[in-house]
Amino acid sequence: MNAKQQISDAKLVLAINGGSSSLKFALFDKGRSLERIISGEIERIGSTKAKFSYRDGSNGPQKKHYLVVPDHRAAAVFLLHWLDQHFGLRGIIAVGHRIVHGGNRFIEPTLVTSQLLKELRRLSPFDPEHLPSELTALETFHRQMPGVPQTACFDTAFHYAMPRVAQILPLPRRLQARGVRRYGFHGLSYEYLMEELTRVAGRKAAHSRVVLAHLGNGASMAAVSGGKSQDTSMGFTPAAGLPMSTRSGDLDPGLIWYLARTEKMLPHQFNKMVNEQSGLLGISETSSDMRDLLARETKDVRAAEAVVHFCYQARKWIGAYAAALGGLDTLVFSGGIGENSPVIRERICEDLEFLGVKVNKARNSRGPGIISARNSRVTVRVMRTDEEVVIARAASLLLKK
Ligand code: AMP
């Protein structure tokens, strides 16, 4: 029996995690407690030099090549063909998809039907940056794999039961009826982190006052107590809260009118600016990647300023959430920056000693695990997040039902 045949006899669950210009995937073996077989990503969808990369399991060497995929439909078709060649599509018994926005209605993983697709299309204006491309990929998988159950997992669901005081936006009340409120995102990541925290630290610690900091290209924080989201920095869309790689985070709303008057900036241009040209990229004028900025900070004042601003804002949000929770017991760093950059973690935690946060240098440089000092009142942890496994678990659970 060859490798493809062995795998195609297995019961595989495929997790799809689409972004505005990317499509991440991971394939899990349901027969082996959802062991990860392969994961990968198509990046820069829409450009003439999209990149396809993948690795075996979680830590195998990365393999990559370039391809041309004009849109998410083409990316999904390419991926399906590639998976069929390497593993055989017949072995895939369920597919799970991350969907950024579930609005007020979708608060748990939901089986994909034509009706659901229609309703999600109606939600598209809630997040025009992400939802349309995610739905295009979802529809392509749905169509090309008839008979294979597909599950939609919503990034907003983790925050659904946030207290009303954290949900409402201080705008005219009539907008609430149209669904305008704080939803919050990164919910699949937060769900994973809370499950892991319970596993490694116990239920008591996970049910105490926790701040989760997901710091990646998109960055957000969640204030959690009793194991439930109490508040989160992203809002109606993922553009709110902390400064991010290219997103501004919170801004003065007065800027919209100011730029409309003085620069004749139109709403769609404003939207493009705050989503694609701001944050680390906007301040540094050179890169949205924290690694580049750290490499350049001693010789480029703009790069230095971007890094300082990011750390300062992150520290401010931790302080705000400690106040919202009435204290802090655990702080978790995650996401590409949170997981991989000891220097950023150290700078964020600087001057937080008054809150009981004390990072140990040696532990911090080692990475995942506890990085706080033994005498730190707050336990500070670095945890690798895994949105794809949350998607795969939901897809295989729905299969059972
Ligand atoms: P994510 O969106 O979670 O995949 O995070 C991606 C971002 O993590 C990249 O754009 C980098 O800015 C950041 N990142 C990854 N590795 C490092 C590192 N070693 N140091 C600083 N930032 C990093």
Specify if 169 maps to a domain: no
What pLDDT score does 8 carry? 47
Last residue of a domain, one of 154, 171, 187: 154
Specify if 195 maps to a domain: no
Give, using CA atoms, the residue closest to atom 4 of ligand 1: 336
What pLDDT score does 48 carry? 81
Last residue of a domain, one of 123, 138, 154: 154
Same domain, 148 and 231: no
Same domain, 149 and 257: no
Report residues whose beta carbon is within 6 angstroms of any ligand 1 atom: 216-217, 245, 289-291, 294, 335-337, 340-341
Same domain, 101 and 224: no
Contact 221, 242 (CB under 8 A): yes
From 220, 289, 334, the mutation candidate for ligand 1 (largest count of ligand atoms within 8 A of CB) is 289
The CATH number that applies at residue 227 is 3.30.420.40
Same domain, 134 and 212: no
Same domain, 85 and 212: no
Same domain, 42 and 124: yes
Specify if 395 maps to a domain: no
Per-residue pLDDT 10s for the chain (401 aa) are 344 545 546 799 999 998 878 899 999 999 888 999 999 999 989 888 889 999 987 777 888 888 888 999 999 999 999 999 999 999 999 999 999 999 999 999 999 999 999 999 999 999 888 898 899 999 999 999 999 999 999 999 999 999 999 999 999 999 999 999 999 999 999 999 999 999 999 999 999 999 999 999 999 999 999 999 999 999 999 999 999 999 999 999 999 999 999 999 999 999 999 999 999 999 999 999 999 999 999 999 999 999 999 999 999 999 999 999 999 999 999 999 999 999 999 999 999 999 999 999 999 999 899 999 999 999 999 999 999 999 999 999 988 77
56 labelled catalytic: no
Cβ burial, residue 124 (10 Å; 0-12/13-18/19+):
middle
Contacts for 183 with CB less than 8 Å, ≥ 6 apart: 101, 103, 156, 159, 234, 235, 236
Quickly tell me which residue has 């060859």 as its tokens.
2
Specify if 160 maps to a domain: no
Specify if 193 maps to a domain: no
Cβ burial, residue 373 (10 Å; 0-12/13-18/19+):
middle
Q: Ligand 1 centroid to 51 CA: how many Å?
A: 17
CA gap 279, 357 in Å, rounded:
26
Dihedral Cα 44, 37, 77, 115, nearest 10 deg: -100
CA gap 333, 378 in Å, rounded:
13
Same domain, 138 and 213: no
What pLDDT score does 303 carry? 98
CA gap 38, 59 in Å, rounded:
10
What pLDDT score does 7 carry? 56
CA gap 77, 158 in Å, rounded:
30
Same domain, 23 and 97: yes
Q: Ligand 1 centroid to 110 CA: how many Å?
A: 31
Q: Ligand 1 centroid to 72 CA: how many Å?
A: 23
Give the domain extent around 354: 202-387
Same domain, 144 and 210: no
**pTM for this entry:** 0.94
Specify if 189 maps to a domain: no
Rounded-to-5 percentages of helix, strand, coil across the chain: 45, 20, 35
Same domain, 101 and 215: no
What pLDDT score does 4 carry? 56
Same domain, 148 and 212: no
Residue from 29, 56, 127, 155 carrying the catalytic annotation: 155
Specify if 181 maps to a domain: no
Specify if 31 maps to a domain: yes
Q: Ligand 1 centroid to 260 CA: how many Å?
A: 34
From 290, 297, 386, the mutation candidate for ligand 1 (largest count of ligand atoms within 8 A of CB) is 290
Same domain, 137 and 66: yes
How many domains are there within the chain? 2
Q: CA 77 → CA 31, 137, 144, 204, distances in Å?
A: 26, 9, 8, 46
